[in-house]
């Protein structure tokens, strides 16, 4: 715990253990802020906010450094000073520190404030003011000097005369501030001569008194701890000082008063007292004075200003005159130099890949459109390269002609026009056939009309959303604002004349040369030509051009050679320009900016609905009918396209958009808004939209491209998923036709290498008496029989490591051991499968012959064979070798409901101890092999299935005749009882499907059917 008169340094640092009895620099800084804010009508009518601070040349440099530097430190970095009120920063960055008196004199020559703060007593004030009076004599009376003399200024009050000039204020501590009644008993202020007392000595004296008072109270209360916590306990309390009550604030600083003295009639008078505890000012005397403002009031020299203004006006007039003359000279020089003329040789051809760009909307062709008003509208364009840019050439006229001076001036103006939303015009060129072309920027995405017609490339929900439509409208409006400021009116504004570049920026094109259009319109009106005459004129001229060029111009050669009758190319492929034209111009002709506004409204409706130009819901009007309705002035209700507020009211700015389009269609042109207003409305709507996801239009464009990219990714993912699904289905179908290894080989290398297998087991089976069954059955009944049987066989085959090779009629062939080798287990798999099949056919019923047993004979044989895919069309996986023939002979020499087995198969099964049970048949004659010992497979040790009992009849002793008698007997019984239905009606054998079949699929039967058909 430290109790001191003050602290060294700037006295701005808060120290928890320090208590100061001398007025701190923070209190003085707070005083200056409050005094600058003080407003009193009769003394200080306005608040101050600026001042110069003279930090050097002080009469007592050390003391001045504490308070002047603390003032600068506290005010400029108040946010870092815990003891200073950070809200009182009115002087922040407004105090100008000046280190020397000479620099202050220089600063006052270009002064920024009338107030000067410095430290000094009366003699020092005299030195400062006298020096400044000599250097800034003309402004000296406007200055206010605020001197800080805390420890020596009190004795100057009202007793001494000072020959100081100017407005001077002095800030000091009071000489005596008696607040206790006991002090009045010792000091009589009216009679006593108050001596000058050193403030530091007085502060140290009060330090001892205050600490003694605190120690006395703490010992009495028992709260004295002799530690740093005592410093905190001292704060926020009152103590008895030398001649006053001292209050220690929460920062450990003593509160007190400051006096402000004003120099009047060479004497200092106390005019304000400032309470540092309450931060309030109190007026002391009734002295009348008014302090000037801190902002310099410069005296204006009206004569000088008038002279300067006159000189400026004359200078500006001379400059304008020079500019007008220079402009006239430049225009004449441009007319002489013909800077709009581009030599044909400067236009280069494009590379083939660049000429046929994939992102172009349409491949433009030379064609001349005939429109109902009798005029021509050429859409014949070609691409060239000019100045490393891709440009578009569009014919201005079919005949050779020279531009007039008016048209030349228009061409010069068009070349100078530059706007992001206007298609750049480079000039004109004359081709080899004498046709004049306009050379403009080439916009690869075509016109806005083309984009609105293409709903596949530009879908409504992704690219052509509401935000993008508003941006298109805004682009057109910005281009028209610039255009009308330059040349007045467009005259033929329509969606066809709004082109879109590769960055999806809309640009207005086909503007200018209004005089040429007016001449052409007058020519058309004065010499009307029928449609056929117009066509013949074009055809004859095209033929003449072809004869002249002899193949020099491919454009016209293609035009003539397209068809035998060139008139087939002359047809109205695009809407008439009159559909965009304002009614007043349809009636009287001409062009106007307000007419462009009407055309702009038509484009907006076309953009919103994407149903073509002048779309009318629930109405079918031809172009001529629409034009007649628009030209008619007797209609009580104006005739306009469909515009429904409900379509756009839910969009951002939809109501404003609806009202804007309606205003554009006003019958009175004067009531239509101009493009400047339209551009402002669209900009406001665009800003509202952009606030939805933040950013500017560029951010919105990036966001839209991201959405478009995500949409493409989604489409690619969907298409990829469909492709994979169809590929898997195709693979499954192929796996049903060929082994998987063969399919993979075909996909990888296009062919399957034949392969030799050393040990396989082949299964053959057929139906005994199948020819007789077919003889007494309908074809569809035979198909159903085989389908029912083979479906069951296929289900059994899937349970074993075997491969179904093929079925031929009633023959069923299966092999094990290929194409996947399985060691010596191929015979066991075939034997088990044969037992399962035999068990199934024992219970199988023929639908159309109920009760007729289906006798199946089975033969199996083991050996080696070769396998491979043969043929290109309908390839088959076939087996070759003697083993195949032997297996077929084993099957054909077998008996009904018997499994005939060769010796090789029995040997393999015995070696692997499969548990199968055999019965020797004896020696059997096999065609091509002689006689061999064969066996019957009659079961297996752990077999749970019931096998059918073979019939007791030999195949060579009347079996065929007996089987046929059984069938005939069944047919006789069915005729005697015709009402007995079959188990499954044949009319329902084929299941109907509502959707087209994809590849070859298994038809799903109804719930009451147990089988299906391929």
Delimit the domains of the chain by residue range. Answer: 2-283, 344-690, 755-988
The HSE-up count of residue 703 (CA atoms within 13 Å, CB side) is 15
Phi and psi torsions of 800, nearest 5°: -130, 165
434: its two tokens: 């004498």
CATH among 3.30.70.1230, 3.20.20.70, 1.10.10.60, 3.40.50.970 for 755-988:
3.30.70.1230
pLDDT of residue 993: 34
Q: What pLDDT sits at residue 590?
A: 87
Q: What is the pLDDT of residue 391?
A: 92
Looking at CATH, the fold of the domain delimited by 2-283 is given as Rossmann fold (3.40.50)
Cα–Cα distances in angstroms (integers) from residue 435 to residues 129, 206, 406, 550, in the given order: 88, 109, 20, 16
pLDDT for position 581: 92
**Residue 581 and residue 584: Cα distance in Å, rounded?**
8
Distance, CA of 238 to CA of 246 (rounded, Å):
6
Report how far residue 799's alpha carbon sits from residue 552's, in angstroms, rounded to the nearest whole number: 78
Q: What is the pLDDT of residue 537?
A: 47
- Residue the block writes with tokens 């309606």: 662
Q: How far apart are CA 657 and CA 663, in angstroms?
A: 10
Give the model's pLDDT for residue 368.
Answer: 35
* Ordered DSSP codes for 798-855: TTSS-EEEEEETTEEEEEESSSS--TT-HHHHHHHHHHHHHHHHTT--BTTBTT----
Report how far residue 270's alpha carbon sits from residue 924's, in angstroms, rounded to the nearest whole number. 150
In the block, residue with structure tokens 């008016």: 406
- Report in angstroms the alpha-carbon separations of 822 from 2, 319, 815, 816, 869: 102, 105, 12, 8, 21
- Long-range CB pairs of 878-882 (<8 Å, 24+ gap) are 878/805, 879/762, 879/805, 879/815, 879/818
What per-residue confidence (pLDDT) applies to 992?
A: 35
Q: Which of 1011, 858, 1007, 886 is nearest to 947 (CA)?
A: 858
Is the separation of the CB atoms in 369 and 395 below 8 Å? no
**Is residue 765 helix, strand or coil?**
strand
Dihedral sign (CA 320, 321, 322, 328):
positive
The residue count of the chain comes to 1014
pLDDT given at position 563: 39
Predicted confidence at residue 61, as pLDDT, reads 55
Q: Considering only CA atoms, which of 195, 760, 825, 712 is closest in space to residue 459?
A: 712
* DSSP string over 272-337: EEEETTTTEEEE-------PPPSS--PPP-HHHHHHHHHHHHHHHHHHHHHHHHHHHHHHHHHHHH
> pLDDT under 70 in the chain at which residues?
1, 6-15, 57-65, 74-93, 152-162, 175-198, 226-231, 242-244, 297-304, 353-381, 397-401, 432, 514-573, 634-637, 692-701, 750, 953-961, 976-1014
Q: Which fold has domain 344-690?
A: Transferase(Phosphotransferase); domain 1 (1.10.510)
Tokens of 30: 């707070």
Six token digits for residue 242: 């030398």
State how far the alpha carbon of 259 is from the alpha carbons of 37, 151, 170, 281, 515, in Å.
Answer: 17, 12, 8, 9, 85
**Token match 């970095």: residue?**
77
Q: What is the pLDDT of residue 86?
A: 42
Say how far apart CA 6 and CA 12 lie, in whole Å: 11
C-alpha span between 639 and 630 (Å, rounded): 6
Q: Say if strands 425-430 and 436-441 run parallel, antiparallel, or are unpaired.
A: antiparallel
For the stretch 131-175, pLDDT in tens is 888 888 878 888 999 988 887 654 554 456 667 888 899 998 886
User: Interhelix angle for 697-737 vs 740-749, to 10°?
Assistant: 130
Q: How many Å separate Cα 125 from the centre of its chain?
A: 70
Q: Which tokens go with 971?
A: 């047919």
What is the reported pLDDT for 183?
41
- Whole-structure pTM value: 0.42
- State whether the Cα torsion 770-774-777-782 is positive or negative: positive
Tell the residue number behind the tokens 């270009």, with chain if given. 110
């Amino acid at each position: 715990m430290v109790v001191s008169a003050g602290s060294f340094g700037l006295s701005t640092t808060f120290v928890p253990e320090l208590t100061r009895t001398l007025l701190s620099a923070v209190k003085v800084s707070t005083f200056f802020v409050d005094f600058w804010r003080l407003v009193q009508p009769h003394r200080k009518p306005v608040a101050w906010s600026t001042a110069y601070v003279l930090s050097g040349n002080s009469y007592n440099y050390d003391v001045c450094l504490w308070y002047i530097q603390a003032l600068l430190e506290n005010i400029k970095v108040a946010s870092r000073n815990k003891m200073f009120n950070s809200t009182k920063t009115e002087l922040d960055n407004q105090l100008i520190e000046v280190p020397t008196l000479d620099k202050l004199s220089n600063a006052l020559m270009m002064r920024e404030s009338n107030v000067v703060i410095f430290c000094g007593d009366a003699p020092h004030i005299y030195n400062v003011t006298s020096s400044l009076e000599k250097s800034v004599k003309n402004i000296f009376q406007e200055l206010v000097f605020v001197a800080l003399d805390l420890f020596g200024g009190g004795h100057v009050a009202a007793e001494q005369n000072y020959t100081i000039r100017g407005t001077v204020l002095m800030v000091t501590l009071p000489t005596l501030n008696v607040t206790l009644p006991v002090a009045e008993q010792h000091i009589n202020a009216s009679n006593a001569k108050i001596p000058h007392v050193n403030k530091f000595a007085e502060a140290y004296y009060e330090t001892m008194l205050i600490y003694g008072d605190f120690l006395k109270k703490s010992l009495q209360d028992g709260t004295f701890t002799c530690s740093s916590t005592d410093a905190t306990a001292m704060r926020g309390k009152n103590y008895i000082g030398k001649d006053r009550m001292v209050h220690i604030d929460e920062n450990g600083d003593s509160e007190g008063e400051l006096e402000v003295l004003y120099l009047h009639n060479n004497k200092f008078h106390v005019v304000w007292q400032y309470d540092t505890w309450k931060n309030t000012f109190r007026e002391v005397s009734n002295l009348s004075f008014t302090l000037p403002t801190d902002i310099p009031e410069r005296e204006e020299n009206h004569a000088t200003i008038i002279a300067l203004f006159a000189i400026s006006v004359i200078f500006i007039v001379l400059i304008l005159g020079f500019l007008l003359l220079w402009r006239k000279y430049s225009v004449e020089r441009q007319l002489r130099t013909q800077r709009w003329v581009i030599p044909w040789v400067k236009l280069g051809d494009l590379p083939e890949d660049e000429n046929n760009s994939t992102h172009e909307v349409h491949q433009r062709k030379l064609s001349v459109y005939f429109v109902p008003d009798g005029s021509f509208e050429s859409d014949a364009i070609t691409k060239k390269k000019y100045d490393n840019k891709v440009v578009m050439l569009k014919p201005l006229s079919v005949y050779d002609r020279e531009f007039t001076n008016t048209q030349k001036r228009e061409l010069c103006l068009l070349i100078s026009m530059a706007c992001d939303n206007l298609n750049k015009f480079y000039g004109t060129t004359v081709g080899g056939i004498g046709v004049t072309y306009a050379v403009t920027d080439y916009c690869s995405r075509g016109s806005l009309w083309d984009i609105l017609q293409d709903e596949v490339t530009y879908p409504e929900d992704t690219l052509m959303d509401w935000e993008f439509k508003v941006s298109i409208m805004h682009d057109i409006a910005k281009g028209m604002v610039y255009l009308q400021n330059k040349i007045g009116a467009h005259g033929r504004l329509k969606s066809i004349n709004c082109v879109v570049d590769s960055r999806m920026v809309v640009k207005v094109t086909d503007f200018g040369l209004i005089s040429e259009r007016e001449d052409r319109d007058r020519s058309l009106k004065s010499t009307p030509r029928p449609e056929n005459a117009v066509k013949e004129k074009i055809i004859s001229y095209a033929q003449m051009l072809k004869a002249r060029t002899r193949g020099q111009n491919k454009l016209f050669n293609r035009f003539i050679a397209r068809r035998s009758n060139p008139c087939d190319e002359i047809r109205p492929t695009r809407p008439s320009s009159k559909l965009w034209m304002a009614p007043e111009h349809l009636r009287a002709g001409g062009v106007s900016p307000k007419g462009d506004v009407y055309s702009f409204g038509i484009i907006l409706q076309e953009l919103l609905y994407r149903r073509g130009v002048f779309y009318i819901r629930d109405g079918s009007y031809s172009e001529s009918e629409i034009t007649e309705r628009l030209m008619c002035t007797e209609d009580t209700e104006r005739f306009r396209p469909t515009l429904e507020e409900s379509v756009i009211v839910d969009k951002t700015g939809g109501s404003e958009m609806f009202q804007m389009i309606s205003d554009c269609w006003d019958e009175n042109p004067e009531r239509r808004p101009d493009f400047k207003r339209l551009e402002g409305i669209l900009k406001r709507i665009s800003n509202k939209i952009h606030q939805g996801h933040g950013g500017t239009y560029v951010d919105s464009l990036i966001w839209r491209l991201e959405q478009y990219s995500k949409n493409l990714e989604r489409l690619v993912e969907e298409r990829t998923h469909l492709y994979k699904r169809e590929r898997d289905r195709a693979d499954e179908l192929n796996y049903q036709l060929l082994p998987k290894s063969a399919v993979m080989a075909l996909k990888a290398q296009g062919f399957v290498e034949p392969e030799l297998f050393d040990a396989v087991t082949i299964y053959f089976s057929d139906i005994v008496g199948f020819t007789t069954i077919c003889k007494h059955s309908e074809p569809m009944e035979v198909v159903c029989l085989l389908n029912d049987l083979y479906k069951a066989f296929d289900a059994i085959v899937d349970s074993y490591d075997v491969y179904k090779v093929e079925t031929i009629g009633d023959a069923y062939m299966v092999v094990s051991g290929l194409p996947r080798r399985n060691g010596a287990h191929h015979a066991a798999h075939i034997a088990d499968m044969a037992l399962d099949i035999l068990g199934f056919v024992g219970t199988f019923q023929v639908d159309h012959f109920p009760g007729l047993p289906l006798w199946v004979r089975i033969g199996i044989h083991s050996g080696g064979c070769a396998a491979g895919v043969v043929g290109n069309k309908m390839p088959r996986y076939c087996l070759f070798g003697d083993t195949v023939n032997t297996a077929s002979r084993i099957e054909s020499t077998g008996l009904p409901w018997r499994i005939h087995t060769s010796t090789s198969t029995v040997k393999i099964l015995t070696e692997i101890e499969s548990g199968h049970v055999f019965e020797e048949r004896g020696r059997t004659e096999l065609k091509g092999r002689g006689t061999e010992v064969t066996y019957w497979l009659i079961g297996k040790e752990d077999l749970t299935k019931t096998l059918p009992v073979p019939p007791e009849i030999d195949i060579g002793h009347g079996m065929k005749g007996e089987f046929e008698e059984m069938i005939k007997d069944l047919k006789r019984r069915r005729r005697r009882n015709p009402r007995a239905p079959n188990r499954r009606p044949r009319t329902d054998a084929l299941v109907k499907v509502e959707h087209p079949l994809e590849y070859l699929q298994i038809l799903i039967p109804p719930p009451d059917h147990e089988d299906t058909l391929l």
